[in-house]
A and B are shown apart, each in its own frame.
Chain A
């Protein structure tokens, strides 16, 4: 199918049908998924799917609809319905397409032409191998949820009545395993995976398998501790969940409405001076990169926090217009079934200077968090509470694994009390952070 033609045509049809402005998003995704358990293929799924989302504005009224049926009749119907929908809603002066038109796009090399040549047998083999190696790592590994391999090739297009006509072809592949250590009431699961744009860049199977196995075995015998206040280290793989909560509080529209505890914090010191955060989706070949955002704005590097000072809230073009701010808008989009909304695309909490071991070294007693069960931050009140697991630290070393404990505090206190930031950043996804330490958090456990 000629998606560019479909996209440009439907935008024109919407304008002809009465819309002042129109925008279409098209997706075509080809996917492969295999899961293997105890050496046998358990599920094999292959699919091609597609869909189109249409957003129209009439007198600054908004209508949106989507369809998985791209037949001419269905598209005709979609235009008609979407225009009708816009007429149901009420005008808001800031509603409409972004002010920018077409801009030159960076070539980010997000498509691996080789992926299409990798055979199903080879992919199944990787899923089988990663599970086999993980199971063989340690006698205490008793069971498996399986190994998997999945990949997707996606064609995405964004077209609007301001002349934007972008298409993007991208690939992604990943594999991993999840195994279980222990028995009966003392079982612990652990998993790991690798996800890349290019098949050749996937991490070695053995390395992923070993990490999965280690994450299960090291948690055997995990137990709660007594309730007390101690220094807490978030390792680099637990840290992203914490930052997700912090970033959720930086929605520009929520700040404008004063429904987030960060509302009045722009240009203020909200975190330790050690912390600098960027949104940077412009790295070539990286799994979380993209040349344009959910509204067709070219992506760029933005500074969110600089030395602990809050530099920006997240706006899409409509909320920016409403708040009367001139910023680089960043619009996320969850696919063709939804419209754009403000947010980040690829966040990097920049490295500090400390060796990761030094975060634990001088602790008499503390908690090392390796997994968080949520983000912890209440965006409204700024209260912080979350369940977590990890290790109890005594005299600078891991003493025993901990599970079933909670962390409680205030997000702003946690941010300000970051006293050490490591240099162990490992870029793996849309939110990346080095390990960091907070001087004191209430750990909730067994007794009061």
Chain B
């Protein structure tokens, strides 16, 4: 594309469109291509190259090279990621894939400047070359020396008892077969069922010139079921998924059975969907998926890079009311087992629970090292990067709205004519204007305080500044979910989100019926 697009995107469901083309402006799920390696730890241990990079004397020398031109700060990021995926399609286990990504990234900071280089060749001479390239961002003599390492043992926010990477493919395949069987028999109108299990085991090591040394293993697992239904000329989709920083113990046959049924139910429910209306309406967003709404409406606009550069519409709003009083919003890297949880972020800062909006008042920004230093603020554990090929930038982890007092059914009852949003497919935002959109994959009409007919083609659009003030009711039923991938500056990253049932008094709905 020739247009420079500054939209941040999120998409929960592109995996549904197997074989279809990805949208121009949508970032899709990471394509997880990998194998059921029987024992990744053994694989790591048997990899001499991976071990040599962990030699602290080499690391110190490489940091010296990074600082040789006068850089103020240097950092080495080593990554070894094994990804596995197995999928079922047309009643058969159709693909099993494996991937290995390994390399080392070098970052040198000086003032507002970042120098970055990486190598996927772990030969010390090649690493030195990359360190020299990163060093070039500065031009002068060495001023800083790397400090002695103090190893950090990170807190544990992942819920992993059994690494999915150690599980035989058969056990994963059984989940897929179960979900498929249940979905297929649910209703004759179910015509397609796809199921997949994917997992990622990412071992990272971060060492920097301030003496930080930390190792961490991030594990992500995801089971997804999707169904297509057909009746006459009516078509619909249904899906269900569970995703988190989970071990394999979080997935079993009864879960697969449950998801197979739920995905099929959704597809059947949506078959008779009617055209959505257009215009301004009150909208009730169900617990879980509404987190995408906050991710787009406000989350990206509170990332410190846009704040520092004053390119975000919220750059001067710290301490000021930006939402109604029922809104307390957290970005929580410590939420146990959540998809976006981080023991440490990708620059070695421990995960944190940051209140971004406190009863309507803007109370914090999402900080990484570079921006926190330049803004003289504290790091918040939000420096994240896609891989060793990227430098860290401020990113969300798990963004969710704190629960309120209302009962979910009372929230629906309070709406005379409006929309009920059950599932959201994806969205994007332009932080400069705060304008965001998101597309609804499961939505219904609310008539006289009751959820009635299913609707298709619902798009919601608004501006963060306006819509946050229009949130009038918040339920007591917080649900945090995962599986989404957020795209920013060409980097994609898993993020979690959540919300209790909530009501937006008015928002623009894009439908067909004027």
Chain A positions near chain B (C-beta within 8 angstroms): 37, 40-51, 53, 62-69, 71, 74, 78, 81-82, 84-86, 88-92, 143, 145, 176-178, 180, 184-185, 187-189, 191-195, 212, 222, 224, 227-229, 237, 240-241, 244-245, 247-248, 251, 253-254, 257-261, 314, 319, 332, 334, 337-338, 341-344, 371-376, 378-387, 389, 403-410, 428-429, 431, 442-448
Q: Among A177, A240, A334, A381, find the residue whose CB has the most chain B CB atoms closer than 10 A.
A: A381
Are the C-beta atoms of B510 and A89 separated by less than 8 Å? no
Chain A residues whose C-beta falls within 8 Å of the C-beta of B21 in the assembled complex: 244, 247-248, 251, 314, 332, 343-344
Q: Count residues on chain B whose CB falls below 8 Å from chain A CBs.
A: 98
Q: Which of B92-100, B155-163, B179-187, B240-248 sits within the interface?
A: B92-100
Instruction: Judge whether B20 and A248 touch: CB under 8 Å.
Output: yes
Known: A43-B113, A254-B19, A408-B278. A188 touches B432 (CB 8 A): yes
Known contacts A227-B278, A374-B437; 14 additional CB pairs below 8 A are A37-B112, A49-B389, A62-B94, A63-B97, A65-B98, A68-B102, A81-B35, A84-B35, A227-B279, A237-B3, A241-B24, A259-B192, A409-B512, A410-B275
| Minimum Cβ distance to chain A for residue B408 (Å) | 26
In the docked arrangement, what's the CA distance between A178 and B279, Å? 32
Q: A431 contacts B513, CB within 8 Å?
A: no
Proximity string of chain B (13-49) to chain A, C-beta cutoff 8 Å, 1 when within and 0 when not: 0000111110111100001011111000000000001
Tell me whether A81 and B461 are in contact (CB under 8 A): no
In angstroms, how far is the closest chain A Cβ from the Cβ of B71? 12
In the complex, which of the residues A194, A241, A385 contacts B459, with contact meaning CB atoms closer than 8 Å?
A385
A444 proximity list for chain B (CB < 8 A): 278-279, 459, 461, 508-511, 514
Contacts A66-B100, A224-B508; is A178 near B433 (CB within 8 Å)? Answer: no
Q: Which of B115, B311, B456 contacts A378 (CB 8 A)?
A: B456
Does B220 reach chain A (CB closer than 8 Å)? no
B115 and A44 within 8 A (CB)? yes
Q: How far is the CB of A211 from chain B (nearest CB, A)?
A: 10
CB A38 to nearest CB in B, in angstroms, measures 9
With the chains together, A405 CA to B3 CA distance in Å?
20
CB within 8 A of B311: which of A48, A88, A180, A222? Answer: A180
Separation in Å of the A226 CB from the closest CB of chain B?
A: 9
- The CA-CA distance from A248 to B19 in the complex, in Å, is 10
Known contacts A185-B465, A229-B514, A404-B462; A65/B35 CB under 8 A: yes
Query: Could you show 15 A-B contacts with beta carbons less than 8 Å apart?
Result: A47-B130, A64-B96, A65-B100, A88-B173, A180-B432, A193-B4, A237-B3, A259-B228, A373-B25, A381-B457, A383-B275, A386-B459, A442-B511, A444-B461, A448-B278
Q: Check A442–B33 contact: CB distance below 8 A.
A: no
Interface centre among B235, B236, B457 (most CB of A within 10 A): B457
Q: Which of A42, A47, A241 has a CB less than 8 Å from the CB of B112? A: A42
A177 to B102, CA, bound (A): 33
B191 within 8 A of A: yes
**B45 to A: closest C-beta gap in Å:** 14
Complex CA distance for A24 and B426, rounded to whole angstroms: 34
Contact A446 B280 (CB under 8 A): yes
Q: How far is the CA of A189 from the CA of B276 in the complex (A)?
A: 31
Tell whether, in the assembled complex, residue A50 and residue B120 are in contact, meaning their CB atoms are under 8 Å apart.
yes
CA of A448 to CA of B417 in the docked complex: distance in angstroms?
12
Residue of B with least CB distance to A187 = B432
A249 CB, nearest partner CB in chain B, Å: 8
Q: Given the complex, which residues of B lie within 8 Å of A403, measured CB to CB?
A: 433, 435
Asked if A178 and B389 sit within 8 Å, CB to CB, the answer is no
B residues near A385, Cβ cutoff 8 Å: 276, 439, 457-459, 510-512
Do residues B120 and A65 form an inter-chain contact, with CB atoms below 8 A? no
B33 and A386 contact, CB distance less than 8 A: no
> B93–A254 contact, CB under 8 A?
no
